[in-house]
Structures are given as structure tokens and as C-alpha cells.
């Protein structure tokens, strides 16, 4: 019978395998993943899983019984080493060979490794998989000194959790401000203030040069030669998409595995979805690579449809979220290319506000901190592409719903 093999066992794979059944795939489904667990939610890794509030079972995307019922098989702790597109076969690290009729690449991404002296020392951690968190957890205790390299969302979320657990936390950010790559200066200033208020030290414009220690981490050396004591170092310096498998198999790759709007690669029997892809978004008339759960899920629905011979175009507005302390940030749209930022609420003293990103009088994106209503409104404004009155966006006395009229 026909077999659809999915490589990678995370958000994209969980959705793709389920969608294959709803789209009518009657053949076998085999998911091969190199981690030890059934697909689990990755966002809690730097939030409630790191803090110990949730266990791995509690963050599973679907229970084992779901996959059994849908007849979705898993091979965990297993890596696919090579794809032979002519023979339609895969070589596994176990030496085994597996045949496929259709193939889905859901290989995701991995942390960017910093080539730092001392980064092999025990106590240096990256943050991508549940196993990384298990390593960090064995090394955290109140009063310990943590240095976090990278002031992106993951670094900031990790700082918030460790601080709440009573550690002394320092964030090192190479750029002039945290979140520089993804937000307006106002948002960076906001998070800088909040973390400072919570007792975290942030050093911007500061790069790490080396990690030192005798048998385990003891300190980090900064680019100005100064030294910071550290019991643990967590590196959050961005990610790189896992494209090597596809590349070796001769598939087209360019900052991600190239797919069309139906999530099909340059081989019509192979789809790809999630962090590992570079796809054309018809809403923006350009290609993009996104690193988010909603992206992995939506694109997987298109990929599953394509495998079943149907056409479901992936054209979605990106959205994202980040939880830090008592603040829920929800981001609608992509702010890239904005001309103006309009603020509603008090980002200088408060903990609830919206930053609207505008271009040519239209809303491109919005960062909403503890503002669920405005987030819903922002999604609609972005989707409809109407021209807005900036003074109304800024006016907290105006109900968000009215902004849609």
C-alpha cells in the first residue's frame, strides 16, 4: 500500500499527519523524529515547561491515543540520514532503509551555534528541545548566576522564568537594544524597563568573547575584556533551518527548503512545512521564512492537501506571541518596512499598550501587550487593508471595535 513518511516529529508533523487523515489519505503514515518524545508544544519550553509548571505529558500536542486511532505510526529517537529520490527510499541512522510513496519534510530548525571558546563546558546550554530544558533544570537553583546570550524573545522569556525562580540573571545583547531585529524601539525600551524592574541586568552593545571554567562554567569574558561570574550560560542566538537533508537530495534550497504556495518542493512527491521552508506568501507578493507555530500548522494543512492531490493555497497573515512575567504579547502581521509607529496606552510606565506599525496609512502589524481586544482588531485591520486614522488608533478612549468602522 502507499506510505507517506514525515521527517521530523514536532508541530508541523503533528498537524500534517492529522490533516492527511481528514483529507482522505488511506495509506500508511509514518513519522520519523530524532527526539525522544511524541510531538510536543515547543513555545512552553521557555515558559511554563522551564518554570516546572508543566510536565512533558502536559505539553504534548496530541495524546498517544489520537495517533493510534488515526493509525499514525512513529519512529522516535531516529534520524533520517539520506533521501534517495530515484528509489524513493530513506536511509536511517539505524542502518534501516524505508520506502516512501510521498514524503513530507518537517525538519524545522536548530539553534545557531556560536563558535565560542569554552562553549563545550558543562553549564552551557542552548534552548530548542525538551532535552535542553531538562539539562538547564538540573542546573538551576535560587541565587545561582545565569548569563543569557541574546536578547530575542527566547532569551527574554528565559530571563523572566529564571528571575522568577530566584536566579541572578544577566542578558547580553550584541545590538544596541533587545528585540532589535523584530520590533520598534518603543517595544525594546518597554521590555528593557520591565526586565530591569524585575531585577534582570541587561547589557546591550555587548558581545561575549569566551566562556571559562574548570570542568564547568565559572565565568564569561565580554568583548571589553571584563569578566562576569556565571553558573550557567544559555545561548539564544537565533536559529538556522534544517535544510541539509533536502539539499543533499538535490531539492532546491535558498534560506529554507523552497516550496510553492501549495507547500510542494521542486519534487512533486515531496512537500515541506514549518520552520524549514521558504515559501511565497500571496498576501505579500514575496517569499518568506517564518519561525512560528501558526505558520507550521497552517502550511501543514496545505501540504497534506497536496499529498492527497488537492489544492489548498497557503496564504496566511503571520502572528506570534511571547509570555514574560505577567505580560502576554500578541503580534499580528509583519512590521518589516513600516514607516510610522503609533502607540495606544502607556509603554513608558504601564504594562498594557499597543504599538501599531503603519505604512501609507494602513496597518501592517501590531504588537499588543495585555491587549486581547486590540489584537483581534489588528488582525482584521491588517487583513482588510483599509486606511486608518492614526489619531484614533492612539486614543485609548475609543473602543477597539470602533476602529473597524
382 is a site residue for ligand FAD (CB under 6 A): no
40 is a site residue for ligand FAD (CB under 6 A): no
**Residues contacting ligand FAD: total by CB under 6 A:** 36
Q: Which of 79, 177, 289, 351 binds ligand FAD (CB under 6 A)?
A: 79
Shortest distance (Å) from residue 57 CB to ligand FAD: 17
Measured from the CB atom, the residue of 9 and 363 that comes closer to ligand FAD is 9
Shortest distance (Å) from residue 45 CB to ligand FAD: 4
42 is a site residue for ligand FAD (CB under 6 A): yes
Measured from the CB atom, the residue of 66 and 321 that comes closer to ligand FAD is 321
Measured from the CB atom, the residue of 11 and 203 that comes closer to ligand FAD is 11
Q: Which of 31, 38, 100, 107 binds ligand FAD (CB under 6 A)?
A: 107
End-to-end CA distance of the chain: 55
Piece of 59-67, 106-114, 177-185, 368-376 that binds ligand FAD (CB under 6 A): 106-114
Q: Which of 4, 31, 45, 381 binds ligand FAD (CB under 6 A)?
A: 45
Residue whose entry in the numeric block shows the C-alpha cell 515547561: 49
Q: Which of 23, 74, 90, 108 binds ligand FAD (CB under 6 A)?
A: 108
Beta pairing, strands 72-75 & 208-212: unpaired
Piece of 27-35, 190-198, 253-261, 330-338 that binds ligand FAD (CB under 6 A): 27-35
Q: Which of 21, 27, 35, 352 binds ligand FAD (CB under 6 A)?
A: 35
10 is a site residue for ligand FAD (CB under 6 A): yes
Q: What's the DSSP call for residue 127? A: -
- Angle, helices 185-197/153-164, rounded to nearest 10 degrees: 20
Residue whose entry in the numeric block shows the C-alpha cell 522568577: 164
Q: Give 80: exposed, middle or buried? Use CB within 10 Å, 0-12, 13-18, 19+.
A: buried
Query: Hey, which residues between 311 and 370 contact ligand FAD (CB under 6 A)?
Result: 320-322
128 is a site residue for ligand FAD (CB under 6 A): yes
32 is a site residue for ligand FAD (CB under 6 A): yes
Residue whose entry in the numeric block shows the C-alpha cell 510513496: 101
Cross-strand partners of 387: 362
152 is a site residue for ligand FAD (CB under 6 A): no
3-class secondary-structure state, position 305: helix
Q: What's phi and psi for 275, nearest 5 deg?
A: -55, -30
Query: What distance in Å separates the CA atoms of residue 102 and residue 5, rounded to the nearest whole number?
Result: 6
- Alpha-carbon separation of residue 358 from 1, 36, 189, 215 (angstroms): 53, 44, 19, 52
Burial 144-155 (b: 16+ CB within 10 A, else e): bbbbbbbbbbbb
Shortest distance (Å) from residue 219 CB to ligand FAD: 25
34 is a site residue for ligand FAD (CB under 6 A): yes
Do the Cβ atoms of 24 and 108 come closer than 8 Å? no
Residues with Cβ within 8 Å of 140's Cβ and at least 6 positions away in sequence, in order, are 146, 162, 165, 167, 232
CA angle 248, 251, 257 (to 5 degrees): 100
Query: Hey, which residues between 282 and 301 contact ligand FAD (CB under 6 A)?
Result: 291-294, 296
Query: What distance in Å separates the CA atoms of residue 347 and residue 47, rounded to the nearest whole number?
Result: 23
Measured from the CB atom, the residue of 303 and 381 that comes closer to ligand FAD is 303
Binding mask 203-242 for ligand FAD (x = CB under 6 A): ---------------------------------------x
Closest to 289 (Cα-Cα) out of 320, 318, 269: 318
Instruction: Give residues in contact with ligand FAD (CB under 6 A).
Output: 7-13, 32-35, 42-43, 45-46, 79-80, 106-109, 127-128, 154, 242, 245, 274-275, 291-294, 296, 320-322
Amino acid at each position: 500500500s502507499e506510505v507517506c513518511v514525515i521527517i521530523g516529529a514536532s508541530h508541523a508533523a503533528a498537524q500534517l499527519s492529522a490533516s492527511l487523515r481528514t483529507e482522505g489519505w488511506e495509506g500508511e503514515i509514518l513519522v520519523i523524529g530524532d527526539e525522544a518524545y511524541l510531538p510536543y508544544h515547543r513555545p512552553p519550553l521557555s515558559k511554563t515547561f522551564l518554570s516546572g509548571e508543566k510536565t512533558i505529558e502536559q505539553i504534548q500536542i496530541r495524546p498517544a491515543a489520537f495517533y493510534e486511532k488515526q493509525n499514525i505510526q512513529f519512529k522516535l529517537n531516529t534520524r533520517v540520514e539520506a533521501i534517495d529520490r530515484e528509489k524513493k527510499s530513506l536511509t536511517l541512522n539505524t542502518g534501516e532503509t524505508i520506502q516512501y510513496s510521498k514524503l513530507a519534510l518537517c525538519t524545522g530548525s536548530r539553534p545557531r551555534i556560536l563558535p565560542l571558546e569554552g562553549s563545550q563546558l558543562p553549564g552551557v546550554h542552548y534552548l530548542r528541545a525538551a532535552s535542553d530544558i531538562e539539562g538547564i533544570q538540573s542546573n538551576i537553583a535560587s541565587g545561582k548566576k545565569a548569563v543569557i546570550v541574546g536578547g530575542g524573545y527566547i532569551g527574554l522569556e528565559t530571563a523572566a522564568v529564571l528571575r522568577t525562580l530566584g536566579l541572578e540573571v544577566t542578558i547580553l545583547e550584541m545590538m544596541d537594544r533587545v528585540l532589535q531585529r523584530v520590533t520598534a524601539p518603543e517595544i525594546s525600551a518597554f521590555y528593557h524597563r520591565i526586565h530591569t524592574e524585575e531585577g534582570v541586568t541587561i547589557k546591550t552593545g555587548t558581545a561575549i568573547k569566551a566562556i571559562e571554567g574548570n570542568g564547568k562554567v565559572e565565568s564569561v569574558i565580554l568583548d571589553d575584556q571584563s569578566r562576569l561570574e556565571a553558573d550557567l550560560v544559555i545561548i539564544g542566538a537565533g536559529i538556522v533551518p534544517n535544510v541539509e537533508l533536502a539539499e543533499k537530495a538535490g531539492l532546491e534550497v535558498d534560506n529554507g527548503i523552497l516550496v510553492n504556495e501549495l507547500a510542494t518542493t521542486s519534487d512533486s512527491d515531496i512537500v515541506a512545512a514549518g520552520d524549514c521552508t521558504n515559501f511565497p506568501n500571496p498576501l505579500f507578493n514575496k517569499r518568506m521564512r517564518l519561525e512560528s507555530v501558526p505558520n507550521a500548522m497552517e502550511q501543514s494543512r496545505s501540504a497534506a492537501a497536496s499529498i492527497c492531490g488537492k489544492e489548498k493555497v497557503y496564504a496566511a497573515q503571520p502572528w506570534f506571541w511571547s509570555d514574560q512575567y505577567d505580560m502576554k504579547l500578541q503580534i499580528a502581521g509583519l512590521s518589516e518596512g513600516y514607516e510610522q509607529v503609533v502607540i495606544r496606552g502607556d509603554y513608558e510606565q504601564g504594562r498594557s499598550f499597543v504599538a501599531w506599525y503603519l505604512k501609507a496609512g494602513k496597518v501592517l502589524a501590531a504588537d499588543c501587550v495585555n491587549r486581547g481586544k486590540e489584537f483581534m482588531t489588528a488582525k482584521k485591520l491588517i487583513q482588510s487593508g483599509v486606511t486608518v486614522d492614526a489619531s484614533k488608533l492612539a486614543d485609548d478612549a475609543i473602543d477597539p471595535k470602533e476602529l473597524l468602522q
